[in-house]
């Protein structure tokens, strides 16, 4: 009788340890899956500030597609999350204006581009800019109103990025390196992902599409 009770107790103890091991194993697997998803596939971010209005608003939650830049490269017009040249602890969200080999020209408050390998200069049709920012892309500081021509020749492996709120965005026009010298271009490795869609607030859920500039 005593042996039977002891055997039952041992079986219960064994069952308890097996149950605990199963729970821990499932937790480890879930954490690993989430880690892989956040590292290589998608990740959430919260927008801070007004540098991308009206495309993105302060405190909106966005989902970025990391896989897009594991299998391809950023394109003109992409809205991306990245780390600026002088601060690897922060994440910024801006729009890709110049890709490697492009020449980007700020002239008279407007943006012109000569695509890599081309000779023809074209005015960039930026329909996503609101009325306050149309024709107001100036040199740093963004509200300077200085209409002199500025030319950016984008190096290989780097990108030029601007916020859609051209009058209130710290972007390639203002980026500096650790010595506080101008450093307008963002390396490819600093690009963390393509902004896929707005997740919150619920009333603003929608996917972001890369504009077609016609080149």
The catalytic residues are: 51, 94
Classify 79 as helix, strand or coil. Answer: strand
- DSSP alpha helix (H) spans, the chain: 2-36, 67-71
Q: What are the residues facing 186 on neighbouring strands? A: 159
Of the CA atoms within 13 Å of residue 10, those in its CB half-sphere come to 6
Distance, CA of 106 to CA of 47 (rounded, Å): 26
57 CB neighbour count, 10 Å cutoff: 14
**Residue ranges of the alpha helices (H) in 47-111?**
67-71
Q: What is the dihedral of CA 137, 113, 67, 64, to 10 degrees?
A: 10
């Amino acid at each position: 009788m005593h042996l039977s009770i002891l055997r039952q107790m041992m079986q219960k103890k064994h069952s308890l340890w097996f149950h605990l091991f199963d729970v821990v194993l499932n937790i480890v697997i879930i954490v690993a899956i989430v880690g892989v998803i956040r590292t290589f596939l998608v990740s959430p971010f919260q927008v801070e500030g007004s540098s991308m209005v009206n495309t993105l608003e302060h405190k909106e939650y966005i989902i970025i597609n990391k896989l897009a830049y594991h299998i391809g490269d950023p394109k003109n017009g992409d809205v991306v999350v990245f780390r600026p040249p002088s601060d690897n602890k922060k994440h910024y969200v801006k729009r890709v204006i110049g890709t490697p080999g492009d020449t980007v020209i700020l002239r008279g408050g407007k943006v012109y581009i000569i695509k890599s390998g081309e000779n023809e200069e074209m005015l960039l049709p930026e329909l996503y800019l609101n009325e306050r920012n149309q024709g107001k892309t100036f040199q740093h500081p963004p509200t300077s109103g200085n209409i002199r021509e500025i030319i950016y020749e984008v190096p290989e492996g780097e990108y030029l990025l601007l916020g859609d709120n051209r009058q209130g965005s710290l972007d390639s026009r203002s980026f500096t390196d650790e010595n506080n010298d101008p450093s307008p271009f963002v390396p490819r490795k600093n690009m963390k992902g393509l902004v896929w869609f707005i997740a919150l607030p619920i009333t603003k859920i929608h996917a972001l599409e890369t504009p077609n500039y016609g080149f």
